[in-house]
Amino acid sequence: MTDILASLYPWTKSLHIISVVAWMAGLFYLPRLYVYHAEASTPGDSRDEVFQVMERRLLRAIMNPAMVSTWLFGVLLVLTPGIVDWSSIWPWVKAAGVLGMTWFHHWLGLRRKEFIQGTSLISGRTFRLMNEVPTVALIVIVFAVVLKF
């Protein structure tokens, strides 16, 4: 099994990077949609319905599959011999960053349910601030992986 993973390493790494890019695009865009949703619509109006369709499609068609494939290819990379040195700090930093991004993904999903129910109390300003979470996680993860500290 480890021989197969080693021979597939370039493919696994490529698919992992593609998945991360798609996931990050959604993590950047969905909070921005929430800003506009919170500021430009009221529950039940036509804009509310349009935002809900956009948010549902982004979350279900792009973000959820991208998150799952990121995790899948990431785990395969971890299982590939010689790729991760667990005595270093960087894989633990990366793992913490990925767990943070996964939490944020689910937090966004819960906010979507609030919009559906018409019970969202979060302001556009708060969503603007939360929009920085994936940026910080991305910076931490990239520096950890590239610099391997």
Q: What is the pLDDT of residues 118-140, one digit of tens each?
A: 999 999 999 999 999 999 999 99
Query: How high is the mean pLDDT of the chain?
Result: 96
The span from the CA of 110 to the CA of 106, in Å, is: 6
- Please state the domain count of the chain: 1
Residue reference for tokens 């798609």: 22
- Decide: 75 and 12 in contact? Cβ < 8 Å: no
Residue 1 clears pLDDT 90, i.e. is over it: no
43 to 47, 56, 57, 91: CA distances (angstroms): 9, 16, 19, 43
Provide the whole-model pTM.
Answer: 0.93
> In terms of residue numbers, what domain contains 86?
2-147
Nearest C-alpha neighbor of 57 from the set 30, 80, 84, 38: 30
Quote the pLDDT of residue 82.
92
Residue 149 clears pLDDT 90, i.e. is over it: no
- pLDDT tens-digit map of 64-114: 999 999 999 999 999 999 999 999 999 999 999 999 999 999 999 999 999
pLDDT bin (cut points 50, 70, 90) of residue 2 is: confident
Quote the pLDDT of residue 65.
98
Q: Which two tokens stand for residue 50?
A: 């349009």
The span from the CA of 94 to the CA of 100, in Å, is: 10
